[in-house]
């Protein structure tokens, strides 16, 4: 019931916010914040007391297929932690949107809650149709946020965002419908079991139908055309949810659906995805260096970081899969913090160009401090959660092929380059305009601070995320890994540890951590 | 043996950093910042407490008997840091003899330099911020040497890089300083990637990154099995050395260190001379077992790189007019000496030079800082001269600098005499490459004497060339700056006896001196690096010169080189009013050399790396992103808009109603679906 409540509560909150709150922005803001915190509290049991909930209610039969769609929801470590990301980023987005949205807060909050409900639904769904409804439905409130609160170029960017994601998803819809027609079910576990009975070439087409839909959302090169433009035009608080949480659903889709349903095809095409991921990782970082506005720079930085995650996933190494789960969460925190801080500056001066400011640290010391810390988190400074994620990802890649790790590692260097350029141009040096910016307000600081504290907390103690979400990711990738080893003609081995343990003289016992 | 207080050693400076950082941030808008006395008290207190704890730990550690199979160590495992697949790692601390030696001088000298900074930075508006950064640096540096595994060390490794960045760019309104800070961070990151990849390679063989497990594995595994893995082990070793070249400013990643002198002088003393830049040597010693089992070309590379860096730094040091730059190149050169020692497997000697160098180079930098303080930010040695006679400097500052000078050029009894001669001795002890490098090292030791004596002449011993304006408004050196200079100046002389070795016997000194025949330092480090050193020297062919002969020959050669260098510099700068030629020429070096001797590297990197990368980024952005991806999308979206324009048009023109309709549509879908239940 908790799972159902987690989906319905935000919808209810959206209705309450839309109909019950006053016309003024303040009351909607307070109400929205209050409700979002309640929902966030409601989600906490998923990763604490009850990590393995599931629920299945009969729903309807899918026309013309004979498949009974069930409202099948379940939570495990991966879903649970990503739900935390969604539920906790929502109050952050609301808290941080005060300056950007102003009097139309009511609409904004309603959109945010609807989006939250659908993202939670997509994360918990264990039925392809339920997943699809939520996954597609997310687009509507997101587009609404872009169209209502976006920048000058919002229409084109909304259209692009819509076209890209729609085209990707249509393929997946066809795929789901085909599966339902052939296998008479839309239940994920049944599909995983049943898809092997289909002809190989059909499986190949189905793989691409799913992979494309998720690759658009991640995004993966070359399907990233919508990203920079959309991030740049979406209001900061919207990007928090878009980049912080929604983009993670693409990666989640690969982990939850593509790898388990199509292990054979995933293993066959792993090389391609690794190459595309590497192009995104290094190319994204290179292009980020060439940007002259902060939002586009961060968009390309996102492309780079998620490219790294994709490379890690398609190595199928346990370490890298664990790192992918950690990094999804870590990147959600850091990118949300950075976009929020950029939006604060944007709200104050209607600009986010690199050359528009200088010496801000003397005008806005707290904002500068938060920004530098968030940037360092994004650059995976050890001690932040991003470091754990990147370390595990690169370690896993190295186990598969050192060159992958070395090439991907270039982004570790470039990541520092562009962020330091941004910091230097904005916060150091001499002021470049006569305008004096006000420092962050308490509520603005409160929106960012928990993200950074969480990043450091999990940087030193990632075990909760790594052992719950990471473990699930490892399991989800295991079949594909087995297929790859089968293809290579090697038996599965536990670890790259090349020498058997009996050769280790006097080495202390490794203490198992979990 | 478990020690539950180890975590306090890094935590105390961290607490200081958090409190002072909070104070600095909270009072950022006020005119003066927080109360300086309070900030200073906390900033000095916490590192001092860390020093006290280190002393306690060392005392406890010295009670643990050294055994062949297990090096004495205090350990504290805090929690499981991360685990993925079958790779697990604890967040823990390892306080063994190597860590204790490093920690003693890091926290000791760190506390002293923090005290010095109280006087040096007192008038600066960013006083509290500076103190917070210094404490944060000490926290990171302590983590670096106290970490029980490579990732914990890496935490400190990148942490010190960050603090270095923050402190080089401390005066952040100056674009040049900011550029220097950014360069330092990025160059260090390049090395850090090598560190990471090296660690990954090590995981592939050892399966763990815990130092004790690595050592146990490498010492306990049979030679045949290790020989089968020698390729990967050598790769790991050389990649980790790449990390060391970044942090310790060795060729080819040395370009950031001279620029790093943009930071306040105490920073140069603490970070860019005494502690952070020596962490590369620490890492090599920490992983000495790895270097013992890797292919010989790995140590050979380290030897050659160290030698090349030492020569380069010494030659560049000859041509500097900025007193801090001269000392910076000297640091580069001295670090080269340390790596030369590591290159022949003499890790204990390399570490001994780290130890003595920390004292005398910190003294030199702090003395230079005092000069800069007295002369109101004058760093150009052409505008100094005769400082030994100035009342503000002739006491403590001059004498501390003088003894540090004795130490660095290697005059007998100075600390550098012992450590440098030990390096030479170990070099000559190895036939072939070692002996050749040894000869070059002697030459470099002579150069060291030349450039350091030049500094002394230009600053202290020649006639005064100080501007008359400045001369009338000299500041005085406060007590907080004098005390650290006194202690470190004494350290520059006395620390040498810690490795006196068999010298008294070799020189047939009277029995009285045999009492000092202490090998304290060597014995202390033996359980950590001894096995590896024995293994490495077993591979070496011993040099032509008999070992016993080396014992007295090398000190004679070394001190002769120092004296010759001294006299060479004296003949150039010590006769008559040398001020004229040096002071009036724009620079005593060829054009472009005086400012930055790394310019050749900078130019090469600019042409080969920086510009191509930037151009590639721009090209990718314009050609691929804008032309191809965006252009394609634009054409496609245009086509869609034209064909199916109606619906999109409605939504676009009436956003509110569009939103309402979408919501309605969604609701309808939900209702229809639910109806079917």
**Segment B144-157, tens digit of pLDDT:** 999 999 999 999 99
Among A398, A380, A74, A132, CA closest to A249:
A132
Q: Do B159 and A383 touch (CB under 8 A)?
A: yes
pLDDT of the residue at B504: 57
Residue A178 has pLDDT above 90, yes or no: no
Distance from the B247 Cα atom to the nearest Cα atom in chain A, whole angstroms: 15
Q: Do A319 and B84 touch (CB under 8 A)?
A: yes
pLDDT of the residue at A18: 81
Residue B1 has pLDDT above 90, yes or no: no
Mean pLDDT in chain A? 86
Closest partner residue to B216 (CB to CB) among A57, A156, A506 is A506
| Spatial distance between the Cα atoms of A328 and A317, rounded to a whole number of angstroms | 16
Residue B644 has pLDDT above 70, yes or no: no
Q: Which of A430-434, B133-137, B146-150 has the lowest mean pLDDT?
A: A430-434
Look at B274 and B674; give whichever has higher pLDDT: B274
Q: Collect all residues of chain B within an 8 Å Cβ-Cβ radius of residue A513.
A: 80, 82-83, 88-90
Residue A354 has pLDDT above 70, yes or no: yes
In B, minimum Cα distance to A399 occurs at B204
pLDDT of the residue at B675: 57
| DSSP at A258 | I
Percent of chain A scoring above 70 in pLDDT: 94
Which of residues 409 through 438 in chain A touch B, CB cutoff 8 A? 409-410, 412-414, 416-417, 420-421, 424, 427-430
Closest partner residue to B666 (CB to CB) among A140, A321, A508 is A140
pLDDT of the residue at B585: 45
Q: Do B151 and A391 touch (CB under 8 A)?
A: yes
Q: Do A382 and B185 touch (CB under 8 A)?
A: no
Residue A309 has pLDDT above 90, yes or no: yes
Q: Do B633 and A225 touch (CB under 8 A)?
A: yes
Distance from the B216 Cα atom to the nearest Cα atom in chain A, whole angstroms: 5
CB environment B206-226: b (16+ within 10 A), e (fewer): bbbbbbbbbbbbbbebeeeeb
Q: Which of A470-479, B246-255, B640-649 has the lowest mean pLDDT?
A: B640-649
Secondary structure percentages of chain B, helix, strand, coil, to 5: 75, 5, 20
Residues 6+ apart with CB under 8 A from B275: B105, B106, B109, B110, B141, B160, B358
| Spatial distance between the Cα atoms of A319 and A395, rounded to a whole number of angstroms | 7
Altogether, the residues listed in chain A come to a count of 514
pLDDT of the residue at B283: 95
In B, minimum Cα distance to A150 occurs at B655
Q: Do A392 and B636 touch (CB under 8 A)?
A: no
- Choose from B30, B75, B82, B89 for mutation: most chain A CBs within 10 A: B82
Residue B261: band (very low, low, confident or very high) from pLDDT cuts 50, 70, 90: confident
Q: Collect all residues of chain B within an 8 Å Cβ-Cβ radius of residue A325.
A: none
A505 CB within 8 Å of a chain B CB: yes
Q: Do A474 and B84 touch (CB under 8 A)?
A: yes
pLDDT of the residue at B379: 83
Distance from the B566 Cα atom to the nearest Cα atom in chain A, whole angstroms: 43
In A, minimum Cα distance to B214 occurs at A507
Residue A508: band (very low, low, confident or very high) from pLDDT cuts 50, 70, 90: very low
Residue A388: band (very low, low, confident or very high) from pLDDT cuts 50, 70, 90: very high
Residue A305 has pLDDT above 80, yes or no: yes
Q: Collect all residues of chain B within an 8 Å Cβ-Cβ radius of residue A442.
A: none
Look at A446 and B626; give whichever has higher pLDDT: A446
Q: Collect all residues of chain A within an 8 Å Cβ-Cβ radius of residue B155.
A: 382-383
CA within 13 Å, CB half, A84 = 23
What is residue B147's three-state secondary structure?
strand
pLDDT of the residue at B391: 82
Give mean pLDDT, residues B106-128.
91
What are the start-end ranges of the E strands in A63-104? Answer: 67-74
| Spatial distance between the Cα atoms of A497 and B486, rounded to a whole number of angstroms | 53
Q: Which of A439-443, B244-248, B453-457 has the lowest mean pLDDT?
A: A439-443
In B, minimum Cα distance to A14 occurs at B663
Q: Collect all residues of chain A within an 8 Å Cβ-Cβ radius of residue B86.
A: 318, 494-495, 497
Give mean pLDDT, residues B461-483.
83
Closest partner residue to B155 (CB to CB) among A383, A466, A499 is A383
Q: Collect all residues of chain A within an 8 Å Cβ-Cβ radius of residue B81.
A: 460-463
Give mean pLDDT, residues A125-139.
89
Closest partner residue to A413 (CB to CB) among B28, B189, B207 is B189
- Choose from A397, A499, A508, A512 for mutation: most chain B CBs within 10 A: A499
Q: What is the largest CA-CA distance in chain A?
A: 74
pLDDT of the residue at B663: 58
Residue B660 has pLDDT above 90, yes or no: no
- A to B CB pairs, distance under 8 Å: 265
Residue B459 has pLDDT above 70, yes or no: yes
Q: Do A376 and B162 touch (CB under 8 A)?
A: yes
pLDDT of the residue at B589: 41
In B, minimum Cα distance to A108 occurs at B659
Distance from the A200 Cα atom to the nearest Cα atom in chain B, whole angstroms: 31
Distance from the A453 Cα atom to the nearest Cα atom in chain B, whole angstroms: 13
Domain boundaries, chain B: 1-191+258-277, 299-497+533-590, 598-643, 653-677
Q: Tell me which long-range contacts B250-253 makes (C-beta under 8 A, separation of at least 24).
A: B250/B280, B250/B305, B250/B306, B250/B309, B250/B332, B250/B335, B250/B336, B250/B339, B251/B305, B251/B308, B251/B309, B251/B312, B251/B601, B252/B601, B253/B187, B253/B188, B253/B190, B253/B191
Give mean pLDDT, residues B17-46.
89
Asked if ipTM goes beyond 0.85, one says yes
Distance from the A327 Cα atom to the nearest Cα atom in chain B, whole angstroms: 13
Residue A514: band (very low, low, confident or very high) from pLDDT cuts 50, 70, 90: very low
Query: Which token pair is A368?
Result: 């500068």
A381 CB within 8 Å of a chain B CB: yes
What is residue B620's three-state secondary structure?
helix
Alpha carbon separation from B358 to B328, B354, B361 (Å, rounded): 13, 6, 6
Distance from the B133 Cα atom to the nearest Cα atom in chain A, whole angstroms: 13
Q: Do A114 and B666 touch (CB under 8 A)?
A: yes
Q: Which of A32-41, A93-102, B279-288, B419-428 has the lowest mean pLDDT?
A: A93-102
pLDDT of the residue at A360: 86
Q: Do A504 and B217 touch (CB under 8 A)?
A: yes
Query: Which residues lie across from B90 on neighbouring strands?
Result: B80
Q: Do B624 and A405 touch (CB under 8 A)?
A: no
Give mean pLDDT, residues B321-340.
91
Q: Do B182 and A144 touch (CB under 8 A)?
A: no
Q: Which of B539-543, B576-580, B632-636 has the lowest mean pLDDT?
A: B576-580
Q: Collect all residues of chain A within an 8 Å Cβ-Cβ radius of residue B656.
A: 107, 148
- pLDDT tens column, B562-613: 999 998 888 888 776 655 445 444 444 444 344 556 667 878 888 888 888 8
Q: Do B677 and A462 touch (CB under 8 A)?
A: no
Whether A375 contacts A428, CB under 8 Å:
no
pLDDT of the residue at B664: 61
In A, minimum Cα distance to B620 occurs at A287
Query: Which residues lie across from A455 on neighbouring strands?
Result: none
Give mean pLDDT, residues A101-107.
78
Percent of chain B scoring above 70 in pLDDT: 88
Residue B539: exposure state from Cβ atoms within 10 A (0-12, 13-18, ≥19): exposed
Q: Which of A25-34, B71-80, B536-545 has the lowest mean pLDDT?
A: B536-545
Give this prediction's pTM. Answer: 0.90
Residue A495: band (very low, low, confident or very high) from pLDDT cuts 50, 70, 90: very low
């Amino acid at each position: 019931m908790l799972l159902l409540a987690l989906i319905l509560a935000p919808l209810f909150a959206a209705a309450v916010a839309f109909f019950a709150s006053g016309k003024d922005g303040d009351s909607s803001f307070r109400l929205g914040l209050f409700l979002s915190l309640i929902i966030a509290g409601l989600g906490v049991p998923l990763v604490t007391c009850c990590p393995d909930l599931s629920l299945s209610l009969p729903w309807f039969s899918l026309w013309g297929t004979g498949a009974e769609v069930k409202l099948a929801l379940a939570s495990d470590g991966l879903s649970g932690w990503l739900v935390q990301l969604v539920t906790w980023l929502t109050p952050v987005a609301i808290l941080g949107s005060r300056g950007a949205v102003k009097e139309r807060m009511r609409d904004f909050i309603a959109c945010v809650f609807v989006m939250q409900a659908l993202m939670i639904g997509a994360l918990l769904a264990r039925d392809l149709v339920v997943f699809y409804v939520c996954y597609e439905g997310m687009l509507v409130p997101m587009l609404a946020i872009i169209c209502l609160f976006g920048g000058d170029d919002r229409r084109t960017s909304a259209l692009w965002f819509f076209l890209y994601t729609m085209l990707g998803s249509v393929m997946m819809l066809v795929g789901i419908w085909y599966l339902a027609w052939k296998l008479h079910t839309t239940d994920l576990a049944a599909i995983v079991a049943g898809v092997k009975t289909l002809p190989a070439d059909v499986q190949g087409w189905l793989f691409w139908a799913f992979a494309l839909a998720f690759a658009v959302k991640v995004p993966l090169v070359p399907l990233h055309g919508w990203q920079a433009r959309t991030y740049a035009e979406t209001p900061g608080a919207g990007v928090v949810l878009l980049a912080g949480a929604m983009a993670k659903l693409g990666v989640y889709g690969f982990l939850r659906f593509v790898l388990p349903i199509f292990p054979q095809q995933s293993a066959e095409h792993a090389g391609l995805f690794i190459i595309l991921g590497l192009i995104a990782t290094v190319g994204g970082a290179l292009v980020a260096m060439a940007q002259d506005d902060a939002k586009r720079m961060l968009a390309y930085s996102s492309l780079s970081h998620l490219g790294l995650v994709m490379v890690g996933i398609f190595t199928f190494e346990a370490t890298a899969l664990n790192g992918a789960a950690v990094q999804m969460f870590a990147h959600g925190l850091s990118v949300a913090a950075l976009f929020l801080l950029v939006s604060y500056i944007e709200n104050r001066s209607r600009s986010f160009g690199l050359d528009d400011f200088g010496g801000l640290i003397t005008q806005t010391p707290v904002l500068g401090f938060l920004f530098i810390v968030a940037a360092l988190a994004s650059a995976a400074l050890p001690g932040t959660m991003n470091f754990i994620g990147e370390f595990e990802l690169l370690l896993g890649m190295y186990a598969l092929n050192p060159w992958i790790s070395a090439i991907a590692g270039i982004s570790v260097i470039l990541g520092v380059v562009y962020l330091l350029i941004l910091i230097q141009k904005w916060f150091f040096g001499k002021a470049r305009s006569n305008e004096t910016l006000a420092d962050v307000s308490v509520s603005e600081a409160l929106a960012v601070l928990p993200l950074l504290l969480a990043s450091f907390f999990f940087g030193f103690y990632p075990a909760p995320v790594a052992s719950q979400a990471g473990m699930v990711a490892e399991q989800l990738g295991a079949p594909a890994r087995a297929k790859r080893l089968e293809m290579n003609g090697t038996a599965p081995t536990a670890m790259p540890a090349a020498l058997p343990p009996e050769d280790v003289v006097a080495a202390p016992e490794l203490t198992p951590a979990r | 043996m478990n020690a539950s207080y180890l975590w306090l050693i890094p935590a105390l400076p961290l607490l200081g950093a958090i409190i002072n950082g909070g104070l600095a941030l909270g009072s950022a808008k006020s005119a003066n910042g927080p109360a300086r006395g309070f900030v200073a008290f906390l900033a000095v207190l916490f590192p001092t407490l860390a020093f006290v704890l280190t002393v306690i730990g060392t005392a406890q550690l010295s009670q643990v008997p050294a055994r062949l199979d297990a090096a004495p160590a205090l350990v504290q495992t805090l929690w499981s840091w991360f685990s993925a697949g079958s790779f697990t790692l604890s967040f823990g601390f390892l306080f063994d003899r190597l860590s204790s030696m490093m920690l003693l001088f890091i926290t000791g000298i760190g506390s002293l330099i923090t005290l010095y900074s109280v006087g040096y930075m007192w008038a600066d508006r960013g006083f509290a911020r500076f103190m917070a950064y210094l404490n944060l640096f000490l926290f990171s540096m302590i983590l670096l040497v106290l970490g029980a595994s490579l990732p914990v060390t890496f935490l400190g490794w990148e942490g010190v890089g960050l603090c270095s960045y923050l402190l080089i760019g401390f005066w952040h309104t100056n674009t040049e300083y900011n550029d220097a800070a950014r360069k330092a961070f990025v160059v260090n990151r390049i090395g850090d990637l090598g560190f990471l990849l090296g660690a990954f390679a090590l995981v592939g063989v050892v399966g763990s990154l815990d130092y004790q497990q690595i050592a146990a594995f490498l010492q306990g595994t049979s030679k045949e099995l290790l020989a089968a893995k020698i390729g990967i082990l050598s790769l790991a070793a050389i990649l980790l050395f790449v990390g060391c070249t970044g942090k310790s400013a060795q060729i080819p990643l040395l370009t950031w260190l001279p620029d790093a002198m943009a930071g306040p002088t105490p920073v140069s003393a603490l970070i860019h001379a005494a502690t952070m830049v020596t962490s590369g040597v620490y890492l090599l010693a920490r992983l000495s077992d790895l270097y013992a089992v890797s292919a010989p070309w790995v140590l050979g590379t380290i030897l050659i790189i160290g030698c090349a860096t030492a020569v380069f730094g010494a030659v560049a040091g000859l041509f500097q007019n900025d007193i801090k730059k001269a000392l910076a190149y000297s640091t580069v050169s001295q670090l080269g000496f340390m790596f030369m020692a590591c290159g022949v497997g003499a890790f204990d000697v390399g570490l001994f030079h780290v130890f003595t160098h920390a004292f005398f180079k910190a003294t030199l930098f702090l003395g230079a800082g005092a000069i800069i303080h007295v002369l109101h930010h004058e760093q150009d040695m052409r505008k100094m001269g005769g400082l030994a006679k100035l009342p503000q400097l002739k006491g403590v500052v001059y004498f501390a600098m003088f003894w540090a000078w004795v130490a660095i050029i290697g005059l007998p009894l100075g600390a550098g005499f012992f450590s440098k001669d030990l390096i030479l001795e170990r070099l000559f002890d190895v036939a072939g490459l070692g002996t050749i490098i040894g000869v070059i090292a002697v030459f470099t030791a002579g150069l060291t004497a030349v450039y350091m004596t030049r500094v002394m002449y230009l600053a202290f011993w020649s006639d005064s060339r100080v501007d008359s304006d400045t001369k009338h408004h000299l500041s005085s050196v406060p007590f907080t700056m004098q005390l650290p200079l006194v202690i470190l100046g004494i350290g520059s002389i006395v620390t040498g006896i810690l490795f006196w070795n068999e010298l008294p016997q070799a020189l047939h000194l009277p029995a009285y001196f045999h009492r000092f025949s202490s090998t304290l330092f060597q014995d202390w480090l033996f359980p950590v690096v001894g096995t590896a050193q024995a293994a490495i020297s077993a591979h070496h062919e011993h040099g032509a010169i008999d070992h016993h002969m080396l014992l007295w020959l090398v000190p004679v050669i070394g001190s002769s080189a120092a004296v010759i260098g001294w006299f060479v510099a004296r003949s150039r700068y010590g006769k008559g009013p040398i001020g004229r030629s040096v002071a009036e020429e724009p620079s005593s070096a060829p054009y472009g050399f005086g400012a930055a001797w790394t310019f050749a590297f900078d130019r090469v990197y600019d042409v080969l790396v920086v510009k191509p990368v930037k151009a590639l980024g721009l090209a990718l952005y314009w050609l691929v992103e804008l032309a191809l991806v965006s252009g394609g999308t634009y054409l496609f979206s245009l086509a869609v808009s034209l064909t199916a324009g109606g619906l999109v048009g409605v939504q676009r023109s009436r956003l509110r109603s569009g939103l309402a309709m979408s919501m309605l549509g969604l609701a309808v879908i939900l209702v229809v679906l639910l109806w079917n239940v």
